[in-house]
Structure 1
Amino acid sequence: MTDWYDHPEYFDLIFADETDAEVAFFEAAFEKFAGRTIQSVFEPGCGSGRLIAAMVDLDYEATGLDLNQKMLDFLAARLEKTGHSAELIRGDMSAMKLPKTYDAAFCTFNTFRHLLTEEDVVGHLRSLADHIEPGGLYILGFHIIPLDADEEEVEQWEASNDDFTVDATLAVIEFDRDNRREKLKVTIDVTHKDGSTDQIETVFPLRLYTCDEASEMLQSVNDVWEIAGIYDFDYDIDEERDMDDDLCDAVFVLRRK
């Protein structure tokens, strides 16, 4: 049993199908909402770097930050294979001191919910604001958990490449609405092409948000960020969403004031 974050090759494959839609949305949002030309981008919590690699392929100057060195090493090797480069930083996304400023940033698919306290959340949003140029964007995506949510939810995925097949199961094993925490267990069963198998099990907490709590959080930093658009995980730039209790898979396009 080992941490799935220490296996970027498996982690990356699980989410690979999301990349094209996310990147297309980023570019559409840049065109629709940015008050400046977007040339440099930053991803806090970049993980295995699927989005950094895709943006570099489109000729953006990219920087990624992550706590896990194995993830960063995987991304560096991936970029080297394609002849591209990006600046990679090992660090904590809760209070960032970065080497320069950027035109845009993105953080999707619940990475933001690893920030467990109000101090870390506000620290992240304000330290990022210090490094995004006026008119630049922060595209922030995370699940909002409605009050009637299933507290014992289980999700499953399967993905394959030429070397292995990954079966992943995510289960909510603890749910504490009062303290705004849920604990998730991810179990990954890997079958290699030679028939050998691996199993990886990871347990980690995430911060809970209702729609009202997400709204309050964004209001707390409205001196530096304004909401330019609200979307969901369909990533359709022509289908904006309202900030209401029907919004569960939220994507906020924030613009630096």
Structure 2
Amino acid sequence: MQEVSGNLYDYPAYYDLVFGSDWKAEYDFLLQVFEQFGGKVERVFEPACGTGRILYRLADKGFEVSGLDLNPNAVEFCNKRLVKHGYPASIICGDMSDFKLPKKVDVAFNMINSFRHLLSEKQAEGHLRCVAESLRPGGLYVLGLHLTPTAGVPMTEESWSARRGNLAINTHLQTLDLDRRKRTERCRMKLDIYTPTERKQILDELVFRTYTADQIEKLLASVTQFEIAELFDFSYRLDRPIEIEPETQDVVFILRKRRAGK
């Protein structure tokens, strides 16, 4: 098997399959959140949108969508997808810790841990403040991420497979190093890629910032524009809100931008 080292995000077609196969649960969850918590939702925005696996489907549902990503290959892929479906190319290339939207949105969402690519507290706080500034009063930010548990055994490996047409990918994600002092988690992602004429493997290393429950709650408290409306986990069950426990490893925050005077 041919081995290719590189940045997974430079291969948007592979990225889209690897992370897009379970889009339905996230999509349905977002629609329910919009209805239950969002009031009138017309404009939605996704920072670190990648290939826009959910964005174009929200556009199909009638929402005005926009997004931002640091990788130009992903931005190009996402814009081509939107145009193919008859929508404006509304994705821009930029830093999710330092941006400004031309008009306010009703909801922003970041569902699968991309927030943890921001490796400093300054970047993370800057991101949250930029999102808050982008939302109308009462608007929502749906933020999903993995926590570092302070009790129990943390999950360190995950494997899954996905297929689309003649393309099949087996993915293995493994934590190589967890440094609680530096608050970094170094992971290796291995993609075994199969087509009728080719077999190859992509190896990439990813570094994430770590958050315990106390650390993420302290960060959110520092951005006073937001209040926590509700908490869920990655089962995406609106009928099962959660409380964060020492063993908790995944959480979806429903953050609401405070209205003036609150």
Cα distance between partner residues in 1 of 2:71 and 2:204: 14
Equivalent residue, structure 1, for 2:68: 65
Query: Residue 151 and residue 230 in structure 1: after superposition, are their counterparts in 2 closer, same or farther (change >3 A)?
Result: closer
Paired residues of 1:65 and 1:88 also in contact (CA < 8 A): yes
Paired residues of 1:62 and 1:86 also in contact (CA < 8 A): no
Query: Residue 164 and residue 149 in structure 1: after superposition, are their counterparts in 2 closer, same or farther (change >3 A)?
Result: farther
**Partner amino acid, structure 2, of 1:206:** F
Structure 1 unaligned blocks of 5 or more: none
Query: Residue 32 and residue 158 in structure 1: after superposition, are their counterparts in 2 closer, same or farther (change >3 A)?
Result: same
Equivalent residue, structure 2, for 1:237: 238
Equivalent residue, structure 2, for 1:210: 212
Paired residues of 1:151 and 1:175 also in contact (CA < 8 A): no
How does 1:30-179 map onto structure 2 within 5 Å?
30-34=34-38, 36-148=39-151, 150=153, 153-179=156-182
Cα distance between partner residues in 1 of 2:233 and 2:8: 26
Per the alignment, in what secondary structure is the counterpart of residue 50 of structure 1?
coil
Q: Give TM-score, length-normalised by structure 2.
A: 0.93
Cα distance between partner residues in 1 of 2:246 and 2:80: 42
Paired residues of 1:151 and 1:172 also in contact (CA < 8 A): no
Question: Is 1:25–2:29 an aligned residue pair?
Answer: yes
Question: Is 1:252–2:256 an aligned residue pair?
Answer: no
Per the alignment, in what secondary structure is the counterpart of residue 54 of structure 2?
helix
Cα distance between partner residues in 1 of 2:217 and 2:162: 35
1:201-238 Cα shifts (integer Å, max 9, x gaps): 111210111111111111111x2001001000011111
Equivalent residue, structure 1, for 2:15: 11
* Shift of residue 151, structure 1, vs aligned partner: 6.7
**Partner amino acid, structure 1, of 2:81:** R
**Partner amino acid, structure 1, of 2:188:** K
Question: Is 1:182–2:185 an aligned residue pair?
Answer: yes
* Shift of residue 170, structure 1, vs aligned partner: 0.8
Paired residues of 1:162 and 1:193 also in contact (CA < 8 A): no
Cα distance between partner residues in 1 of 2:117 and 2:51: 16
* Shift of residue 84, structure 1, vs aligned partner: 2.5
Cα distance between partner residues in 2 of 1:147 and 1:59: 42
- Name whichever of 59-68 and 236-245 sits farther off: 236-245
- Name whichever of 136-145 and 85-94 sits farther off: 85-94
* Percent of aligned pairs with the same amino acid: 38
* Shift of residue 81, structure 1, vs aligned partner: 2.4
Cα distance between partner residues in 1 of 2:234 and 2:245: 15
Structure 1 stretches of 4+ with a deviation exceeding 6 A read: none
1:181-214 Cα shifts (integer Å, max 9, x gaps): 01111111101122x1121111121011111111
Cα distance between partner residues in 2 of 1:208 and 1:18: 24
* Shift of residue 148, structure 1, vs aligned partner: 4.2
Paired residues of 2:169 and 2:191 also in contact (CA < 8 A): yes
Q: Give TM-score, length-normalised by structure 1.
A: 0.94
1:23-51 Cα shifts (integer Å, max 9, x gaps): 111111112112x4110000000001101
Query: Residue 224 and residue 152 in structure 1: after superposition, are their counterparts in 2 closer, same or farther (change >3 A)?
Result: closer
Structure 2 unaligned blocks of 5 or more: none
**Partner amino acid, structure 1, of 2:9:** Y
Paired residues of 1:182 and 1:205 also in contact (CA < 8 A): yes
- Name whichever of 74-83 and 161-170 sits farther off: 74-83
Cα distance between partner residues in 2 of 1:90 and 1:142: 22
Per the alignment, in what secondary structure is the counterpart of residue 105 of structure 1?
strand
